[in-house]
Amino acid sequence: MNNYDIAAFIWPAYTGNDDRARMFWREGYGEWQSVQNAKKNSALKPKDYVWDRRPLWGYVNEADPRVMEMEIECAKEHGVNVFIYDWYWYDDRPFLANCLEEGYLKARNNDLVKFYIMWSNHDAPHVWNIDLSDEIPYETIWRADVDRDIFNKLVDLWIERYFTHPSYYKIDGCPVFMMYDVLNFVKGMGSVEKAREALEHFRQRVCESGFPGLHLQCVMTEHKDRVVKRHGMDFADLYRALGFDSLTEYQWKVFNEMRGDYLDSIRAAKENYNEMDKLDGILYFPQVSVGWDNNPRFKNFMPSVIKNNTPKNVELAMRQAKTFVDTHSLPAPLVIVNSWNEWTETSYLEPDNLNGYGYLEAIKRVFVDKNG
């Protein structure tokens, strides 16, 4: 029996159901295009560099409920019992929502694995487009900051569409809502004070909808020292000023360059856990990244590559996160994992031709098996 909540991010681009996605992946089946073409696009990379990962399940459409039923069954069997869906809002409408709306929510067994959403409120870049990613990767296509009126509309949408679903993940009865880019949120609201007012409105609307409260979770997207340097405000101070309930990361790249040996990254994660312990008033949930290599998104070589992230070593990272949960008084036994399917960043749990089901079996050994 699994006594832990193992929550894996889902990058909802592995579908062909969103017409606007064709501007990034013109072949019509989402970012599987980049995965399938990664080896072909490697002519400009060093000869000793090889990326030849292949999904054992094939290039499936994760907006197909039958596919998600299979994935949910597999996740549950191996101890992954929560999915965190990247949720986008661009050009005044959702983007890449089909994976959640058509896949998970229509899956007949979605009671087996709970879900919550991470509002991925970062600007949309060209980094997803292999034809432009080397030249203008972070030029903005769509802005993600919204004003208060749009935010209020989104609040009602999130509550009505997701929070009321019986499989939505809650802590102490409170729906959990994750925000990716806190600084972009503040930008849209106009100030930290106005951003806090907007979040207080969010909490009020959730309570008016019959819940005891809202659990607001924010993601560190930059190392705290860089936040101070670039934005003049310590991330922990911003966290407290906005009234968030918990903090985590999306990827270990926040505090580690993620190049070289995975064992070094595990040690960096341990140091990060220790740093979080020293911050007053910060509730931190541990996060584990499976790896890092985003070369499938580029024709030129990106030198930030993690090596030696074998299932055996990832299991060590999972055990380290388990120890953190076991030794801290947390409101939920929650471990965040990057990720279920970030293939083009080479940080995924889904089975492949290299490790089979190795990563999933590692999670099962740590969090499910009696001797874990």
**Tens digit of each residue's pLDDT, the chain (372 residues):** 679 999 999 999 999 999 999 999 999 999 999 999 998 888 899 999 999 999 999 999 999 999 999 999 999 999 999 999 999 999 999 999 999 999 999 999 999 999 999 999 999 999 999 999 999 998 999 999 999 999 999 999 999 999 999 999 999 999 999 999 999 999 999 999 999 999 999 999 999 999 999 999 999 876 555 555 555 677 888 899 999 999 999 999 888 888 899 999 999 999 999 999 998 889 999 999 999 999 999 999 999 999 999 999 999 999 999 999 999 999 999 999 999 999 999 999 999 999 999 999 999 999 999 866
Please name the CATH architecture into which domain 5-367 falls: Alpha-Beta Barrel (3.20)
Note the pLDDT of residue 224: 58
Following DSSP, what letter does each residue of 257-321 receive, concatenated? ---EEHHHHHHHHHHHHHHHHTSTT--B--EEE-----GGG-SS-----EE---HHHHHHHHHHH
Note the pLDDT of residue 231: 59
Note the pLDDT of residue 171: 98
Q: What is the spatial distance between Cα 190 and Cα 235, in angstroms, rounded to a whole number?
A: 18
Strand boundaries in the chain, DSSP class E: 5-10, 82-90, 93-95, 114-119, 170-171, 174-179, 215-220, 246-249, 260-261, 287-289, 306-307, 334-338, 341-342, 347-348
Note the pLDDT of residue 372: 66
Dihedrals phi, psi of 237, to nearest 5 degrees: -65, -40
Tokens of 124: 């949309």
Q: What is the spatial distance between Cα 193 and Cα 184, in angstroms, rounded to a whole number?
A: 14
Q: What is the spatial distance between Cα 134 and Cα 334, in angstroms, rounded to a whole number?
A: 37
Q: What is the spatial distance between Cα 98 and Cα 146, in angstroms, rounded to a whole number?
A: 22
Note the pLDDT of residue 221: 75
Q: What is the spatial distance between Cα 84 and Cα 93, in angstroms, rounded to a whole number?
A: 20
Note the pLDDT of residue 228: 54
Tokens of 44: 């400009």
4 alpha carbon, distance to own chain's centre: 18
Inter-CA distances, 180 with 109, 247, 333, 356, Å = 28, 11, 21, 31
